[in-house]
Structure 1
Amino acid sequence: MLYETFIWFVIIIKVVLSIEDPIVELPNGKILGRLATTYTNTPFYLFQKIPYATPPVGALRFKAPQPAQTWDGVLNTTYLDVSCYQQQGDLSSDSEDCLFVNVYTPTLPTNNENASLPVMLFIHGGAFIVGWSLHYPPDLFIDNEVILVTINYRLGVFGFLSTEDDVIPGNNGLKDQRLAIQWTHDNIHLFGGDPERITIFGESAGLFRAAILESGSFLCPWTYQRNARRIAFETAGVLNSTFCTSDDSSALLEFLQGVSSDDLDAAGQQYMESVSTPWDYDVSQGIVYAPVIEVKNPDAFITKKMYGLLQAGNILKVPVIMGINSEENLLFNQDPVVLQSILEAWDNNLDLIVPNDMQITDSQQHADMAKSIRDIYTNDEPFGTRLGDGVRYSTDTSFSRPVTKHAELASAFTEIYFYQFSYDGLPGHISIHYDGAESVGHAEEIPYIFCSSMLGCHISEFTESDKVTSQRLITLWTNFAKYQNPTPDVSELFQNITWSQLSVEGGDFLFLDINEQLEIKNHLKAEVLQKWNNLYESLNFTDFDTY
């Protein structure tokens, strides 16, 4: 009897260990995860800091990512303590060895049986210069029986420096994302996921069946850098002045691969500060370190203008949810004094408000276009103290115009569900309001879908309306991951609304307005955006890089 009791005790101990200390065997080696719980006490398995690439250091700096090496023993993946170098707001966790993926799953395969759960892979934002996957917890996804995958990718000078030739072609941060998507497709079945049901958040390319684009498009003017080669040499010039007059890409690569990561990060930050102006986040003619059009090379990510590819339907034809927040650029204009100084700078040099993608070289035509753009918002008056009009302009040129144009063009080739997030709740964290402008800024939807007590988010402290909005958003998003349809059934949660696909035939532009009440509306910012479209059409060409 004592022997049998002992045997059962050993079995129980083994079972507890297998539950609380899960081990997954990847092609590269074994990893150790841990059991965790959501804020609703739902158990799930957590695996953080899994290498998906070889550390991009030394001779691999500025190179396309290489698959992860194998390892011996069991790798501890129960915590995440590394972020990629930030070009603003340095973190103590910043490192060049940062290419990790995190997997959060409600269940693991047992007895060779896989639950084949839908997977949502989130690519964090941050203007290509900041961001960290740790800031996006899985609680609400786990509670909706979806696996969440989050990733780190190279940022700023490390991820987007380019000499615009085959020495440093560029776009390494995007190539990191592509490899992470590939890793997820190849390995997610080991975590209970279905590799054929991967939905990504954000713009990328590869092995997924659907995408959700929150407040962004490759047509946004800030997503493309037209002067990357000059920027690369001037960045190197911060550390060695001889590169201010050099044109030798190979010498630049050899030099920058030899400097310390801290010095390179500091040089990138110093350069950005030297060329940045207060209105950069408003007009956004291209983030300093941003994607480029590459020369053809074996690892190329982008080799043609995206507008033309989209217009021709040369895109991955998967269903897409995409949309904007009602007044995106509130995030970048929370100080009225600074905003007024920006508006005065625009009035003093109105050429600043003309997007570079209009490619206007004639000075008089450029001046006339600037006046026409301002007139959309002020009726021939200066921006002056019209703070609301200034914010509206900056929102539309950075987000509303390019995102809606992307949706309009893509809807001819694939399923598009368009939304505007207009709900102004406390979790959004932006309290500023300007007369004449809307009230919900960039990224204010994020706390409603990524919420965890470990990050100071307490849904129990939400108002009832906040809770309903959170439940609506996460259910719309996870429904899409499960069924490729955000409203597959009539639901009281959605006030019995069916979110239909976007069709612009007949001049309509139907979208879901997500506010305290859900409502299907037509013609998003119609009068303003139509005037913008008229200005672009007056240029009599369509060879745009952004829009």
Structure 2
Amino acid sequence: FQKPEPVRPWKGIYDATKNDKKCPQDAIFQGAFIVGSEDCLYLNVYTPTLAKNSSKLLPVLLWFHGGGFQFGSGIHMLFAFGSFDKFDPAFFMDEEIVVVSPNYRLGALGFLTTEDDVIPANLGHRDQLLALKWVQDNIELFGGDPKDIVIAGESSGSASVCYHLLSDVPEINAVTGAIMISGTCIAPWAFVTNATENAFDVGKKLGSDYSSDHNSASLLRLFQSVSTEDFLHAAEMIYRPIKTDLGSLRGKWAPTYAEDFSPAEPMTDVINQGKFHKVPLLFGFNSEECLSPLYLQLLPQIYRKAIVWDRDPSKMIENTLNVRDRRKAGEDMKAIYTNSSFLKDIAALVKYCTDDQFTLPVGRHAESASKYGVPVYMYQMAYHFVPHFTPGIEGAGHAEDMFLYWDTFLTKLLKLIFPKFDLVSRRMVRLLSNFVKHKKPIVEKDELFQNLEWPEFDSKHLQYMRIDAKLEVRSDIRNYSSKRVVWDKHVQKPTTIY
């Protein structure tokens, strides 16, 4: 429950050829037990084969894994039925970049806070920041350029990138670009407002109540006196990660404001005012983000949500949005997606959820950043291979794209099954690598990209690249402009999220 510290020097040679470490986390569908260990703050460095006497330093991709701030590691991604699939950046090694993927503390161990100096806020993000500092200090020894680091992530890892760009810590000055895939810090799931209350609720579950006098020191002593398993089970009792809307793995353990680390004002205002580290940005999102590898397990909750939203459209509106008439706002938004009920049109519900949780906040962030002369690029991943079993739903679900650019056991199988998978995979690896090296996804005419040019994204044209078996430059992501008009009509300032 304390800020991370740099590793102490060791004697002799450290064997860094193997790493299977995960930070403690719930195994979800694998039973009521915890996987991982608190001995988990490791990072993984991948370097292409270097010429013996080469003095050339390669650009660095520093990757923060996703997993809803609750799951995963620098080498593990969460997949169907709560299983973990190992991933590594073998494909990127052909593109002449260095890749670093750190672990960071997750769940209550990473994001529970008393919002004071006793249990500081956003410990998981502080772990990431120390990893960035490690890269600056050491990556030259691995062939990487400490002055050319692109930070990147997917889902909660992408939201983490956003948080770092809004901080003013000195380490951020080494960052020369940022890639944000399926997330931003102004998404509804990337922020909590009642962090202290949540912390003391865990204390109550462990049998002690310090909430009346908010005795943070006593609470910390209690937490440190119990086992990791007992603490996490208590934290789990006030947050069940699968009891969520449409597969968005969210709950009480997410970042919050931290005076010494993140802005003290609404992040939407910070971005709109240009108070961020101005580097080239690449945003990506999947066409059906509210579908995920957990989709089949979540179908009953999806149908329950449809019934609730049909009965009361005000429930469609996030609590953290400052809206005067929530029911009218819900009715206006629902009318964009269907003239029927959500129960009869589940595809419309999934599309609304995708926009509400991902497309709109990502679009807002990209639009605001582009106004400050920052090169901004946007893509939509539409290629998919996971069956959805729901009429009217097409396109890639949340995290489905991960198998395209990371090398996993499943990736090898998918290349054999789907004829176009390898083509789309090579495109994704190349465009991400191009951005790391050149700060733009397409540098010159390339047959792999159908000799297309990739225009910058701005608030006037809203241009983006739609990635499927065929590439296509389009405008106005998922009719973003019309949905933005509805939100601007109903949402009042200040508001924490988009």
TM over 0.5: yes
Cα deviation for residue 230 of structure 1 reads 1.2
1:513 counterpart residue number: 466
Distance 1:209 1:148, change over 3 A: same
Residues in 2 aligned to 1:195 and 1:242: alpha-carbon distance in whole angstroms: 47
1:150 to 101, 126, 137: 101
2:156 counterpart residue number: none
Task: Please tell me the residue identity of whatever aligns with 1:543.
Answer: P
Describe the superposition over 1:277-324 as per-residue Cα deviations: whole angstroms up to 9, x where unpaired: 442745x8x631000012x34xx3443321111101111111111021
1:344 aligns with 2:307: yes
Distance 1:151 1:168, change over 3 A: same
Describe the superposition over 1:174-216 as per-residue Cα deviations: whole angstroms up to 9, x where unpaired: 1111110111121110001111222121313423211111111
Distance 1:234 1:109, change over 3 A: farther
1:312 counterpart residue number: 273
Structure 1, gaps ≥5 residues long: 1-61
2:81 counterpart residue number: none
Describe the superposition over 1:111-150 as per-residue Cα deviations: whole angstroms up to 9, x where unpaired: 5x53301211111000100011123302101122221111
1:133 to 52, 68, 74: 74
2:251 counterpart residue number: 287
Matched residue SS, 1:114: coil
Contact 2:321 2:496 in 1 (8 A): no
1:124 aligns with 2:65: yes
Task: Please tell me the residue identity of whatever aligns with 1:124.
Answer: H
Cα deviation for residue 93 of structure 1 reads 5.3
Q: Which structure 2 residues correspond to residues 311-330 of structure 1 after superposition, within 5 A?
A: 311-330=272-291
1:468 aligns with 2:407: no
Cα deviation for residue 276 of structure 1 reads 6.8
Which of 493-502 and 237-246 deviates more? 237-246
1:420 counterpart residue number: 380
Contact 1:146 1:478 in 2 (8 A): yes
1:497 counterpart residue number: 452
Residues in 2 aligned to 1:117 and 1:278: alpha-carbon distance in whole angstroms: 42
1:436 aligns with 2:400: no
1:94 counterpart residue number: 36
Matched residue SS, 2:290: helix
Contact 1:233 1:246 in 2 (8 A): no
2:412 to 440, 457, 469: 457
TM-score for the superposition, normalised by structure 2: 0.88
Distance 1:139 1:86, change over 3 A: same
Contact 1:114 1:189 in 2 (8 A): no
Percent sequence identity over aligned pairs: 33
Distance 1:338 1:459, change over 3 A: closer
Residues in 1 aligned to 2:262 and 2:123: alpha-carbon distance in whole angstroms: 9
Distance 1:270 1:100, change over 3 A: same
Residues in 2 aligned to 1:217 and 1:257: alpha-carbon distance in whole angstroms: 32
Which of 407-416 and 334-343 deviates more? 334-343
Distance 1:198 1:215, change over 3 A: same
Distance 1:170 1:144, change over 3 A: same
Contact 1:109 1:191 in 2 (8 A): no
Distance 1:303 1:259, change over 3 A: farther
Describe the superposition over 1:56-107 as per-residue Cα deviations: whole angstroms up to 9, x where unpaired: xxxxxx2221111111111111111210011453787501111101111113
Task: Please tell me the residue identity of whatever aligns with 1:176.
Answer: D
Q: Which structure 2 residues correspond to residues 106-121 of structure 1 after superposition, within 5 A?
A: 106-107=48-49, 110=52, 113-121=54-62
Residues in 2 aligned to 1:415 and 1:524: alpha-carbon distance in whole angstroms: 18
1:41 counterpart residue number: none
Cα deviation for residue 336 of structure 1 reads 4.1
Matched residue SS, 1:83: coil
1:237 aligns with 2:176: no
Residues in 2 aligned to 1:450 and 1:540: alpha-carbon distance in whole angstroms: 39
Q: CA RMSD in A?
A: 2.3
Matched residue SS, 1:287: coil
1:269 to 233, 236, 249: 236
1:200 aligns with 2:151: yes
Structure 2, gaps ≥5 residues long: 77-86, 154-160, 166-171
Residues in 1 aligned to 2:487 and 2:120: alpha-carbon distance in whole angstroms: 30
Contact 2:69 2:107 in 1 (8 A): yes
Contact 2:27 2:35 in 1 (8 A): no
Residues in 1 aligned to 2:20 and 2:269: alpha-carbon distance in whole angstroms: 41
Cα deviation for residue 161 of structure 1 reads 0.3
Residues in 2 aligned to 1:145 and 1:278: alpha-carbon distance in whole angstroms: 40
Distance 1:496 1:419, change over 3 A: same
1:161 counterpart residue number: 112
2:15 to 76, 96, 102: 76
Task: Please tell me the residue identity of whatever aligns with 1:348.
Answer: R
2:180 counterpart residue number: 213
Residues in 2 aligned to 1:343 and 1:127: alpha-carbon distance in whole angstroms: 23
Describe the superposition over 1:308-357 as per-residue Cα deviations: whole angstroms up to 9, x where unpaired: 11101111111111021001011154354442222112223433211123
Describe the superposition over 1:486-524 as per-residue Cα deviations: whole angstroms up to 9, x where unpaired: 1111011100001121122xx311100001111100111
Contact 2:245 2:301 in 1 (8 A): no
Residues in 1 aligned to 2:476 and 2:34: alpha-carbon distance in whole angstroms: 46
Describe the superposition over 1:428-462 as per-residue Cα deviations: whole angstroms up to 9, x where unpaired: xx211433333210111111100145x77347525
Larger radius of gyration: 1
Higher RCO (C-alpha 8 Å, min separation 6): 2
Residues in 2 aligned to 1:109 and 1:266: alpha-carbon distance in whole angstroms: 50
Residues in 1 aligned to 2:371 and 2:332: alpha-carbon distance in whole angstroms: 30
Residues in 2 aligned to 1:336 and 1:250: alpha-carbon distance in whole angstroms: 43
1:402 aligns with 2:387: no
Residues in 2 aligned to 1:228 and 1:457: alpha-carbon distance in whole angstroms: 42
Residues in 1 aligned to 2:236 and 2:321: alpha-carbon distance in whole angstroms: 29
TM-score for the superposition, normalised by structure 1: 0.80
Cα deviation for residue 110 of structure 1 reads 4.4
Residues in 1 aligned to 2:233 and 2:92: alpha-carbon distance in whole angstroms: 37
Cα deviation for residue 108 of structure 1 reads 5.2
Contact 2:246 2:290 in 1 (8 A): no
Residues in 1 aligned to 2:133 and 2:453: alpha-carbon distance in whole angstroms: 33
Distance 1:235 1:501, change over 3 A: same
Matched residue SS, 2:231: helix
Matched residue SS, 1:213: strand
Matched residue SS, 2:452: coil
Which of 394-403 and 458-467 deviates more? 458-467
Residues in 2 aligned to 1:475 and 1:434: alpha-carbon distance in whole angstroms: 32
Distance 1:469 1:523, change over 3 A: same
Residues in 1 aligned to 2:412 and 2:202: alpha-carbon distance in whole angstroms: 39
Task: Please tell me the residue identity of whatever aligns with 1:515.
Answer: D
Contact 1:292 1:302 in 2 (8 A): no
Matched residue SS, 2:25: coil
Cα deviation for residue 237 of structure 1 reads 1.3
